[in-house]
Structure 1
Amino acid sequence: MTDQLNHDLDREAFVFDSVETDAVLSDIASEMSLLGCLLAPGAATANVAALHQAAELVRPVDFYRPANRIIWERLAAMADRGLPIELPALNAELRTAGDLDRVQGTPYLLHLQEQGLTHANATYFAKMVADVAMRRRMYQTSISIGQIARTGKGDMMALVEEADAQWGQVHATDTAAADGVEHFGEDMMADLIDDLASDEDPMGIPTGYADLDALLNGFHPGELIVVAARPGVGKTTLGLNVATHAAKHGHRSLFVSLEMNRKEIGHRILSAQTSVPFFTIRNKMLKEPDWARLASRREEIASWPLIVSHNPAITFPQVKAEIRRQARKGLKIAVVDYLQLLQDPDSKSADSREREVALMTRGLKVLAQQLEIPIVVLCQLNRDSAKREDKRPHVHELRESGAVEQDANVVLLIHREDVYDKESPRSGEADLIVGKSRNGPMSDVTVAFQGHYSRFVDMAPGV
């Protein structure tokens, strides 16, 4: 009777390529024992508590046998409605929902109850079910990646990105919270209170500008930060300054450039860090004091965890793949220079360039959240601000897509009056305009622009 029952139930289970593989990637006995523990006679209240504890470890999709998955989901629904977790109630609920025949009726429920020990053992079996489900996902993902390698078409790095993204899902923590759905109850409340009471510094990745850090508290994990300006105002300089400053303070940083080669990137970093004019470095006009400055900082700068990408033909999937690769090595911040130069050969659903840009900004936002790092993307403004008498830029002037503003946590606009008026009394000054801040105030921060050193710096005290 029992053997026939199990045979009938397992006809619906997942199919793998061999009986041997199937045995490794499923643990029906643990599934049945888990459910049996939750149906322990005379312990309805304790069974509810045991189910909540087990649910921290296992999800419905982790059950190999479909019947067991149906029973788990019904038990969870009963607990949420405050119903007792006991066999008669479960039997009635399954009958009402029309699922009793799908689990081979009451005999199978009685059989499950016989497999359980006590509600106290539920978490033990939940852990076993979750572990074998992880193995199963690893196996299924490896097959899927193999299919991508054998039959995938298009840009190779796009295929790598697709495979990398799939493998990344295997590493995700197997809890309810990993799905982005979590009860705002005592567990979450305790985590929040503990975090508030901890001595951990709430500062994100520092930008290198004191007033900007005071306003935004740095750039935070999961944020998409857009830095925008008209051409020639200094968005590349600011982006490289931010990446370099983060690396200087020990944060692994990635700077992706689609318009500068490795030599120009290096020249800009050296100029900003040693105060040797960029023109002097670029044209190899160094004198003895300049060589001395370079020599005094060479070892320090070389030790910083700053990674640069300087492939002008890099595609959007390749950028994402590189960010993911660096994240596995401890990446803390990524800067992409710049959005309008990026192309996504896989954006087949995009019917316009605006739609393509929208898909890319959304992709960067999701990536920032998945990897829990801030991603800074540099962006051009359209010509509207240049046409006005007041040249001060506005957020709605982001070029090619309103989705850039929509997806960004922070939009930082750069404005320099001396770009438009060489006689401006504010020559050498720049306004960093926080035009959008999802988690803080919006304001202006004034810094000094030292273009000859390829850098922005804090204003001198008292200025």
Structure 2
Amino acid sequence: MHLSAPIYRLKRNARDLARQQGIPLHRALDRVASEQGYQSWSHLASQASQARPAAAVLSRLVPGDLILIGARPGQGKTLLGLELAARAGALGRTGFFFTLDYHERDVRQRLSELGLPPSADAGAVQVDTSDDISADHVIRRLASAGTPALAVIDYLQLLDQKRSTPDLATQIGALRRHVKETGAICAIISQIDRSFDLSPRKMPGRSDIRLPNPLDLAAFDRICFLNEGRLRMEAAQA
């Protein structure tokens, strides 16, 4: 059963409903869950947790992986990245979330609304919103962590905007060498070209990844595509 919106948005809808109708939050949550076809909010949360794409991705990650996560806006690529960082502890790792697109307050808010499983620790995620984010910046942060890292970078195209930083291919090459040498795991979120919206295909592919400058996608170990609640994960060098 597919939700009509991500769980964090449904929880926000329930809070609005509780305020508007002056009812307890738990009743509002149950009402929203009923509208989605579930017996209660706890039933919805339990089922949604089992179906989360992050669980499928985490189960396939190995030390040294460099992966790309691609989707159109609103399809859950940022939420997937946030959850991967929040669940890094389950792999004995420190989670990092590097973003050039959000303020830390916004990231923390979205983490708090994810409805994460008990094993996740959103508060332990190291959030970095520095304007200096680049491959070198990420590598320095990971090297200073003192523990194995699972890093998420939001997002690929923004790494390529500053003239003062190396070109995109050089940065991705540096990140690949770092994760291979240290056993870190790094996931990079990517935009998908808007032309995909006019395509009859159910899932984007490599040709849909928006690359303003040349980049050999074989630098990645795996590519994850998201669309309409579905996940496809493939080897980048296939």
Shared fold, TM over 0.5: yes
Out of 215, 222, 227, the residue aligned to residue 403 of structure 1 is 215
- Give, in whole Å, the separation in 1 of the partners of 2:163 and 2:63: 25
Aligned to 2:136: 317
| CA pair 413-269 structure 1, distance change in 2 beyond 3 A | same
Cα 1:230–1:270 change in 2 (3 A) is same
The match for 2:151 is 334
AA of the residue aligned to 1:340: Q
Q: Does 1:435 align with 2:215?
A: no
Structure 1 residue 325, shift from structure 2 partner: 2.0
Counterpart residue number, 2:49: none
SS class of match (2:83): helix
Whose strand fraction is larger, Structure 1's or Structure 2's? 2
The yes-or-no answer on 1:255 pairing with 2:54 is: no
Measure, in 2, the Cα distance between the counterparts of 1:380 and 1:320: 22
Which of the two has higher C-alpha Rg? 1
Amino acid paired to 2:215:
A
Q: Do the aligned partners of 1:254 and 1:307 also contact (CA within 8 Å) in 2?
A: yes
The list of structure 1 runs, each at least 4 consecutive aligned residues, that deviate by more than 4 angstroms after superposition, is: 207-213
Structure 2: stretches of 5+ with no match in the other structure: 1-51
The aligned length equals: 183
Q: Quick check: 2:88–2:94 contact (8 Å CA) kept in 1?
A: yes
The one-letter code of the counterpart of 1:219 is L
- In structure 2, the CA distance between the partners of 1:322 and 1:404, relative to structure 1 (3 Å rule), is farther
Residue 431 (structure 1) shift: 1.0
Compared CA separation, residues 361 and 344, structure 1 to 2 (3 A): farther
Instruction: Please report the RMSD computed on the Cα atoms of aligned residues, expressed in angstroms.
Output: 2.8
Cα offset for 1:312? 3.9
Distance (whole Å) between structure 2 residues aligned to residue 226 and residue 402 of structure 1: 15
Write the mapping of 1:76-115 to structure 2, written as runs, cut at 5 A. none
The alpha-carbon deviation at position 330 of structure 1 amounts to 0.6
Determine which of 111, 115, 119 is the counterpart of 1:269.
111
Task: Kindly indicate which of the two structures has a greater share of residues assigned to helix.
Answer: 1
Contact 1:227 1:379 in 2 (8 A): yes
By how many angstroms is 1:336 displaced?
A: 0.8
Aligned to 2:188: 377
Higher relative contact order (CA 8 A, sep 6+): 2
After TM superposition, list the pairs within 5 Å mapping 1:120-199 onto structure 2: none
1:365 maps to 176
Question: Structure 2 CA distance, aligned partners of 1:243 and 1:339?
Answer: 17
Task: Report the Cα distance in structure 2 between the residues aligned to 1:267 and 1:357, rounded to whole angstroms.
Answer: 30
Provide Cα deviations, 1:324-362, integer angstroms capped at 9, x if missing partner.
Answer: 222xx1133111111111146243xxxxxxxx2222221
TM-score after normalising by structure 1? 0.36
- Determine the C-alpha separation between the residues in 1 that align with 2:62 and 2:163: 26
Identity score, percent: 22
TM-score (norm 2): 0.67
